[in-house]
C-alpha cells in the first residue's frame, strides 16, 4: 500500500514496502524531485538501511561462535512495514522482528519510521527499540536518490550543470571503497577549504564518496541555471555518502549514515564493527534528517 501526504507546498508518497519514500513533488509546478527508481539504472527510490549500512565481508558476519548471512544494506528495505498512525501531514510505519529475521539477525527489535511534512520540508525520523533480553547491535542509514535533472525542469539542464554545496567550508578526506564494496583503511584528501563539489561522471567512477565527521550538517544539490535546490539536514550523523552510477544515470544520492561497510581487513565480531550502535535492554535510539525543496 502507498500512503500519500500533502500540504500547501509538497506532496509525497510512501510505500509500506520498506517504508520507502517514493515521490516528492512540488505542488507549484508538479516537479518530481525524488528519483523514479528506473531499473535501467537503479531500481530504488530511497531505501532504509538497517541493520547494516553497506556490506559485511562475503555477506557474512559473526556474533560469538554463530555465523549469519546478510546482504548489502540489510533486510528492512525489502520488508513490509505497517502504517500504525496517519494524519494528513504525517505517517508512522513500523517493522518488528519475527522468526525469519532472527535467522539472519539474531536480535529482537522494533523499527519505526516517521514522515512528516512541515512547509517545504520532509522530516524523516527513525526510532529503534530493543525488545531483546540483552544488548542489541545495529547500523542505520538513509539512501534517498534525487532526479538530476529534476523531472519537469524547463531549463534544459544536464547532469553536469549540478553541484553539491555544503553549509560550511570543509577540509576533508574521502574514504575509499574497494571493488567488493568494502571500506579501505586509507583515505585521500578531497576538499581543501571549499564547500563545492561539481557533478561529473568521473566523480563516481570508484563508487560512493564517503565522508566522516564533516563540519557541515547540511548539504544542498543546486544547479547553475536556476534557484531550485534540494537541501538535506543531517545533524548527528557521523558519516555521509554521495553516490551515483557513472553510466549516465540521471540521479544522485545523498546518504546520512550511522555506520558503514566492513573494512576490507575486518574479521572480528559484529559487535566490534566500526561505527556499530549498541542498545541496552529496553533502550531506544532516535535520529532524524530532513529534505527541503526550494522552488
Distance CA 269, CA 291 (A): 35
Q: Which pTM value belongs to this model?
A: 0.97
Q: Burial, 211: exposed, middle or buried (Cβ in 10 Å; 0-12, 13-18, 19+)?
A: buried
How far apart are the two ends of the chain, measured CA to CA in Å? 29
Nearby residues of 127 by Cβ (< 8 Å), 6 or more positions away = 110, 111, 112, 113, 114, 284, 285, 286
pLDDT of residue 226: 93
pLDDT of residue 247: 86
Bridging pattern class, strands 209-212 and 229-233: unpaired
pLDDT of residue 97: 98
What count of other Cβ atoms lies within 10 Å of the Cβ of residue 192? Answer: 9
Per-residue pLDDT of the chain in tens (295 residues, 90 and over written 9): 899 999 999 999 999 999 999 999 999 999 999 999 999 999 999 999 999 999 999 999 999 999 999 999 999 999 999 999 999 999 999 999 999 999 999 999 999 999 999 999 999 999 999 999 999 999 999 999 999 999 987 778 999 999 999 999 999 999 999 999 999 999 999 999 999 999 998 999 989 999 999 999 999 999 999 999 999 999 999 999 999 998 889 999 999 999 999 999 999 999 999 999 999 999 999 999 999 999 8
CB 116 within 8 A of CB 126: no
Distance CA 271, CA 290 (A): 29
Amino acid at each position: 500500500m502507498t500512503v500519500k501526504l500533502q500540504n500547501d507546498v509538497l506532496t509525497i508518497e510512501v510505500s509500506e514496502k520498506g517504508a520507502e519514500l517514493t515521490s516528492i513533488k512540488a505542488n507549484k509546478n508538479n516537479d518530481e524531485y525524488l528519483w523514479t527508481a528506473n531499473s535501467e539504472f537503479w531500481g530504488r527510490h530511497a531505501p532504509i538501511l538497517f541493520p547494516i549500512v553497506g556490506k559485511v565481508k562475503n555477506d557474512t558476519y559473526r556474533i560469538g561462535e554463530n555465523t549469519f548471512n546478510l546482504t548489502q544494506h540489510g533486510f528492512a528495505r525489502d520488508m513490509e512495514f505497517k502504517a500504525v498512525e496517519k494524519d494528513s501531514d504525517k505517517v508512522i510505519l513500523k517493522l518488528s522482528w519475527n522468526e525469519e529475521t532472527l535467522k539472519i539477525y539474531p536480535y529482537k527489535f522494533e523499527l519505526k519510521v516517521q514522515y512528516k511534512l512541515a512547509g517545504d520540508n520532509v522530516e524523516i525520523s527513525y526510532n529503534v527499540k530493543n525488545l531483546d533480553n540483552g544488548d542489541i547491535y545495529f547500523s542505520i542509514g538513509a539512501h534517498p536518490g534525487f532526479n538530476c535533472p529534476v523531472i519537469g525542469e524547463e531549463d534544459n539542464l544536464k547532469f553536469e550543470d549540478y553541484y553539491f554545496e555544503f553549509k560550511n567550508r570543509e577540509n576533508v578526506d574521502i574514504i575509499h571503497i574497494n571493488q567488493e564494496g568494502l571500506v579501505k583503511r586509507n583515505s585521500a584528501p578531497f576538499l581543501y577549504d571549499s564547500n563545492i563539489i561539481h557533478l561529473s561522471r568521473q566523480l563516481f567512477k570508484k563508487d560512493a564518496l564517503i565522508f566522516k565527521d564533516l563540519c557541515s550538517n547540511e548539504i544542498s544539490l543546486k544547479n547553475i541555471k536556476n534557484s531550485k535546490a534540494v537541501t538535506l539536514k543531517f545533524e548527528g550523523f557521523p558519516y555521509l555518502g554521495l553516490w551515483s552510477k557513472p553510466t549516465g544515470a540521471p540521479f544522485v544520492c545523498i546518504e546520512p549514515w550511522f555506520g558503514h561497510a566492513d573494512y576490507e581487513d575486518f574479521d572480528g565480531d559484529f559487535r566490534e564493527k566500526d561505527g556499530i550502535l549498541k542498545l541496552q535492554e529496553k533502550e531506544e535510539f532516535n535520529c532524524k534528517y530532513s529534505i527541503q525543496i526550494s522552488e
